[in-house]
Structure 1
Amino acid sequence: MDTFPDLGSLSDQELKDLIQQLTEEEIDISYKRRILHGKIDILRAELVNRLRKKHETGEEVITGADVQRLTDILAGRAAGEDTGV
């Protein structure tokens, strides 16, 4: 992470330039964030459709592994940590 400049040492133009630079960076990051959220929404919709189809055909929708993963999440264990079992 870049260190923040000593604001008192910057000229008015340097402050304006820094504001412009950070504003442009924020716009870019916001755009990328919206794209990622769109992709996540599409993936979640696909997963829901697949689960719905499995349910309709009588396939197992929730497995023991799913329940264990949820238990780990609720217990605050991070992914990949040993469950001690």
Structure 2
Amino acid sequence: MDTFPDLGSLTDQELKDLIQQMTEEEIEVSYKRRILHGKIDILRAELVNRLRKRHEGGEDVISGSDVEKLTDILSGRVPGGEPN
């Protein structure tokens, strides 16, 4: 990670340039974030559709292993995670 410059040593123009650079970077990051959120929404919609079809077909939507994973998460026993 870049260190933040000593602001007192920058000229007015350097400060303006830095503001412009950071603003452009923020716009780019925001754009990428919106794209990622859109992709996540599409993936979630696909998963919901698949689960809905399974449910309509009479299959179990939630398995015993799903319940076990949820129990582990809620009790703080997540693999690779720190216990609460």
**TM-score (structure 2 length as normaliser):** 0.88
In the alignment, which residue of structure 2 is the partner of 1:32? 32
| Structure 2 unaligned blocks of 5 or more | none
Q: Letter of the aligned partner of 1:7 in structure 2?
A: L
2:42 counterpart residue number:
42
Structure 1 gap ranges (5+): none
Distance 1:28 1:54 in 2: 39
CA displacement, residues 32-78 of structure 1 (integer Å, 9 cap, x when unaligned): 00000000000000000000000001011101111122122222344
Query: Which 4+ runs in 1 deviate beyond 2 A?
Result: 75-78
Question: What's the Cα RMSD here?
Answer: 1.5
User: Residues of 1 paired with 2:6 and 2:77: CA distance?
Assistant: 41
2:22 aligned counterpart, secondary structure: helix
Count of residues paired in the alignment? 81
2:75 aligned with 1:81:
no
TM-score, normalization: structure 1?
Answer: 0.87
